[in-house]
Amino acid sequence: MPLSDSSRRVVFQRFGGPEVLEIERRPTPVPAPNEVLVRVAAAGVNPVDWKLFSGKPMHDPYERSLPSGNGYDFAGTIAGIGADVTDWSVGERVFGGLRFHAQADHLVIDPSLLVRVPDDLSLIIAGALNVVGRTAFASVESQSIGAGDTVLVSGAAGGVGILTAQLCVLRGARVIGTASPGNHDRLRSLGIAPVAYGADLPAALRAAAPEGFTTVLDTVGHGTVDIALGLGVSPERINTVADYDARHRHPVGGVGGAAAGAAELAIVGQMLADGNLDLPIDSVHPLERVRDAYVRSIAGHATGKIVIVTEGTGEAA
């Protein structure tokens, strides 16, 4: 099928809430000799996206300029190849991340950043995977989780948290995860013992693990690091990917997605394809309803991942 000469993308011309997101039409981009063109099918929604388009200061600086595209995670099909690219073919299903470009019908990218989508993995799940997959893998690796560990994973029903918790279970650890009560049955089905958020959370955690926790993997912040220290967990056995202030106040770890690359992402993708991991899809929104996706994300308590799809993915989650 010939490429369309028009392509949509999500952009913002000013900073603010979801209302600043717009759909812009542009000519379909053309790959340089060392690039490939991807026809995007699905793009994940991450909290960092709306922190970026809000314009508010962030602890981890990203270069922001206006106007800007939006989104990072994506999956799709290679639609064109630059003259110097030899290891990829038109029609291959691929996924990965490209900051400020993912939420679009098409993007051009250095193929070294791409991962092939396993046969048994849908493009919707692959499109949600880049940030949460790399972050969960790196966080678990940072603590060398094993069969002797009792691990607390905060936000265990969220995109990063649910993969983090499952990776710990697969390593033989006992895993306790904080989550809203509506997500407890799902966590139990995955071998994760749930504990509800609340003012008495420290007491609830002591009751859930009277022997104590060896490790805490924090994916949401909200005082988790301070609670962990109060429970007697050693700072070097605490890793947070969400609480930057706590990392400045305490000698705890902050290993996240930057510590994992395409090879690690491929491992997580294959584990999902093989049925060894589960990544729930909270909701799916068409590209033209991108604002609704971020309203959902900002409200919090999504179970798993929120995904934006372009037309014609032809796949179920």
Coil vs helix vs strand at 9: strand
Average pLDDT, the chain: 94
For the segment 178-200, what is each residue's pLDDT rounded down to a tens digit?
999 999 999 999 999 999 998 89
Number of residues assigned to the chain: 317
Task: List the structure tokens of 195.
Answer: 């504990």
More confident residue, 56 or 61: 56
β-pair partners for 153: 177, 217
**Both tokens of residue 84?**
């110097």
With CA atoms as reference, report the closest residue to 45 among 10, 80, 14: 10
- For 162, residues 6+ apart whose C-beta sits below 8 A from its C-beta are 156, 187, 190, 278, 279, 280, 303, 304
pLDDT at 2 over 60: no
The model's pTM: 0.94
How does strand 68-69 pair with strand 7-12? antiparallel
Q: Is the pLDDT of residue 101 over 70?
A: yes
The CA dihedral of 205, 209, 210, 213, to the nearest 10 degrees, is -90
Q: Which of 18-22, 84-88, 136-140, 195-199 has the lowest mean pLDDT?
A: 195-199
Type and span of the H or E element at 187? helix 184-189
User: What confidence tens digit (pLDDT) does each residue in 220-242 have?
Assistant: 999 999 999 999 999 999 999 99
pLDDT of 313 strictly over 60? no
pLDDT at residue 3 above 80? no
For the segment(s) 132-258, the CATH number from 3.30.43.10, 3.40.50.720, 1.10.4100.10, 3.30.200.20 is: 3.40.50.720
Say yes or no to pLDDT of 300 above 90.
no
Specify the higher pLDDT residue, 300 or 185. Answer: 185
pLDDT of residue 315: 57
Average pLDDT on 294-315 reads 85
Instruction: For domain 7-129+279-309, give its CATH number from 3.40.50.2300, 3.40.630.30, 3.90.950.20, 3.90.180.10.
Output: 3.90.180.10
What mean pLDDT is predicted for residues 45-74? Answer: 88
My answer on whether omega of the bond before 67 falls inside 30° of 0, hence cis, is yes
Domain-wise residue ranges, the chain: 7-129+279-309, 132-258
Q: Taking a C-beta distance cutoff of 8 angstroms, is the pair 41, 313 a contact?
A: yes
User: Do 7-129+279-309 and 132-258 come out as alike in CATH topology?
Assistant: no
Q: Which pLDDT band holds residue 60 (cuts at 50, 70, 90)?
A: low
Mean pLDDT value of segment 164-179: 98
DSSP 182: G
Would you say residue 312 has pLDDT above 60?
no
Alpha helix (H) residue ranges in 190-256:
201-208, 224-230, 244-249
Range with the lowest mean pLDDT among 98-107, 290-299, 306-315?
Answer: 306-315
**pLDDT at residue number 4:** 60
Structure tokens at 169: 């279970």
Confidence of residue 64 (pLDDT cuts 50, 70, 90): confident
pLDDT of residue 1: 41
Q: Is the pLDDT of residue 306 over 50?
A: yes
Where b means 16+ CB within 10 Å and e means fewer, 209-241 reads: beeebbbbbbbbbeebbebbbeeebeeebbbbb
